[in-house]
């Protein structure tokens, strides 16, 4: 194959790999949570000892998973306020809300037991059951289920596409600054951390690995960052979403650059932006994390990403054409990195280097902004759980690192109470615990 063909394929392949239709938009009928919840299916009270899967997934979802309450949220006072401010009759009947807070497929695709009030149910993530439930209950393999239309949630690229469709948005549903201005909370997301805190209703044990392959938290994290940045660029370039009149959509920017008291003088130079004081600043948290991950797996691309991001920060304040050009290039670069990370087996050395890279970025002044500090903290959490799962850190070492990490989580617990100084001190303490 000629060199350029390899290059073209390298760019196209990751895009093809995630071409599976999202559960929300595929044509299958959604049968409803009840049809998964039988006590010998996924509705057991306790995990089955003799089964491959836990079989109490429904119980976990119902009792602990916020997705089970996603519809009910639309009936609370905050939702009433948001609906009123947007001029909607009700939040719980508005498509704009239901598209993310429930499994809002077309009426013709709702089975007999389907209930909108179930919120984000099994099939909102695993895909409408009509095409695969038959072979699934007679014991088909995961690969065969997926071939029949089950959504491949085990594939990190497909999972990122799925979660981000609600935890960031796409060209058909999006929490714009207009929704936030009406009162919708800020949205932050990290693929690996959120998979764990959902909470996970699956266990990555020996048979999981045999059935579905190994899962490496660091790989999931890195792919999640690349997908999030690609998605942001997609939406910035989208003619419907990208602008609100004269201005670019404000959600792409650092919320706290605008939203903080003027007496709280907090500006500091940020090396990755190159911007001076008094400038509007993109939320570049995913880009910073992605550059750190890329520095380990593809240093040339990391350098290029850093340069293009600095260019984009500048262009946004100056020139719309240049902004579009750079956003397109950053999107291509992010997709390329998805491919690179997909093939990378991140090992112990990589994990230590990534932690050191994050600490260096923080010490260099990039974590003054809340959104970046929040992503850095979740990144460290993912890397640490991968180190532990891989047996790369002794248990007492893990405990020391995790204690220090918990202090970092405390420092980002509330965006409005964020103090960069406190955070940096916690990061320095964490740095001391990284094994050499």
- Residues at the contact surface with ligand HEC, assessed by CB under 6 A: 33, 36, 42, 53, 57-58, 61, 66-67, 69-70, 73-74, 76, 78-79, 82-83, 86, 91, 94, 96-97, 99-101, 120-122, 124-126, 153-154, 159, 162-163, 165-167, 169, 173-175, 177, 179-181, 183-188, 194-195, 197-198, 201-202, 208, 212, 250-251, 253, 255, 257-259, 280
Two structure tokens written together for 326: 């750079």
Q: Tell me, rounded to whole angstroms, the distance of Cα 206 from its chain centroid.
A: 26
Closer to ligand HEC by CB, 58 or 430: give it: 58
Report in angstroms how near the CB of residue 257 gets to ligand HEC at its nearest: 6
Report in angstroms how near the CB of residue 402 gets to ligand HEC at its nearest: 19
Identify the H or E element spanning 243.
strand 243-244
Report in angstroms how near the CB of residue 59 gets to ligand HEC at its nearest: 8
Report in angstroms how near the CB of residue 10 gets to ligand HEC at its nearest: 26
Distances (CA, A) of 148 to 5, 21, 135, 232, 374: 32, 13, 8, 31, 39
| DSSP annotation string for 164-195 | HHHHTB-SS-B--HHHHHTTPPP----HHHHH
Listed in sequence order, the residues at least 6 apart from 192 whose beta carbon sits closer than 8 Å to its beta carbon are 217, 220, 221, 224, 378, 381, 382, 385
**Start-to-end C-alpha separation, the chain:** 43
3-state secondary structure of 244: strand
Report in angstroms how near the CB of residue 207 gets to ligand HEC at its nearest: 8
Angle CA 132–48–151, to nearest 5: 25
Report in angstroms how near the CB of residue 36 gets to ligand HEC at its nearest: 4
CA distance 171 to 168: 10
Closer to ligand HEC by CB, 218 or 302: give it: 218
Report in angstroms how near the CB of residue 209 gets to ligand HEC at its nearest: 10
| DSSP annotation string for 111-122 | -TT--GGG-S-H
Report in angstroms how near the CB of residue 167 gets to ligand HEC at its nearest: 5
Asked whether the beta carbons of 414 and 372 are under 8 A apart, the reply is no
Q: What size, in residues, is the chain?
A: 436
Closer to ligand HEC by CB, 165 or 225: give it: 165
Asked whether the beta carbons of 304 and 333 are under 8 A apart, the reply is yes
Closer to ligand HEC by CB, 136 or 291: give it: 136
Closer to ligand HEC by CB, 360 or 413: give it: 413
Asked whether the beta carbons of 236 and 275 are under 8 A apart, the reply is no
Closer to ligand HEC by CB, 91 or 230: give it: 91
Closer to ligand HEC by CB, 52 or 363: give it: 52
Closer to ligand HEC by CB, 244 or 319: give it: 244
């Amino acid at each position: 194959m000629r060199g350029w063909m390899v290059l073209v394929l390298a760019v196209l392949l990751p895009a093809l790999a995630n071409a599976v239709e999202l559960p929300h938009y595929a044509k299958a009928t959604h049968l409803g949570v009840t049809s998964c919840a039988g006590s010998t299916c996924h509705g057991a009270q306790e995990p089955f000892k003799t089964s491959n899967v836990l079989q109490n997934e429904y119980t976990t979802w119902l009792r602990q998973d916020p997705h089970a309450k996603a519809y009910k949220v639309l009936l609370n006072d905050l939702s009433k306020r948001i609906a009123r401010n947007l001029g909607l009759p009700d939040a719980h009947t508005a498509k704009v809300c239901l598209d993310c807070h429930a499994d809002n497929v077309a009426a013709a695709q709702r089975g007999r037991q389907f209930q909108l009030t179930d919120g984000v149910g099994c099939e909102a993530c695993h895909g409408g059951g009509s095409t695969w439930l038959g072979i699934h209950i007679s014991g088909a393999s995961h690969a065969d289920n997926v071939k029949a239309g089950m959504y491949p949630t085990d594939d990190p690229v497909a999972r990122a596409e799925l979660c981000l469709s609600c935890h960031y948005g796409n060209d058909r549903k999006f929490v714009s600054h207009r929704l936030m201005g009406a009162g919708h909370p800020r949205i932050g997301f990290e693929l690996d951390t959120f998979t764990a805190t959902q909470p996970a209703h699956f266990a990555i044990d020996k048979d999981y690995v045999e059935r579905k392959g190994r899962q490496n938290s660091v790989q999931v994290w890195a792919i999640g960052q690349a997908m999030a940045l690609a998605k942001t660029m997609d939406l910035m370039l989208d003619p419907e979403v990208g602008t609100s009149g004269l201005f670019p959509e404000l959600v792409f920017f650092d919320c706290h650059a605008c939203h903080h008291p003027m007496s709280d003088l907090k500006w500091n130079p940020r090396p990755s932006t190159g911007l001076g004081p008094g400038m509007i600043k993109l939320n570049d948290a995913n880009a910073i994390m992605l550059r750190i991950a890329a520095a380990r797996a593809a240093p040339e691309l990391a350098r290029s990403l850093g340069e293009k991001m600095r260019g984009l920060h500048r262009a946004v304040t100056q020139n719309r054409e240049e902004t579009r050009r750079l956003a397109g290039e950053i999107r291509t670069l992010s997709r390329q990195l998805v491919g690179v990370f997909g093939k990378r087996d991140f090992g112990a050395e990589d994990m230590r280097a990534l932690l050191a890279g994050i600490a260096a970025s923080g010490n260099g002044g990039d974590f003054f902004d809340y959104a970046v500090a929040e992503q850095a903290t979740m990144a460290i959490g993912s890397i640490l759980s991968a180190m532990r799962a891989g047996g790369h850190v002794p248990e007492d070492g893990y405990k020391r690192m995790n204690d220090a990490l918990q202090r970092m989580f405390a420092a980002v617990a509330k965006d409005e109470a964020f103090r960069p100084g406190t955070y940096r001190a916690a990061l320095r303490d964490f740095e001391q615990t990284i094994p050499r």
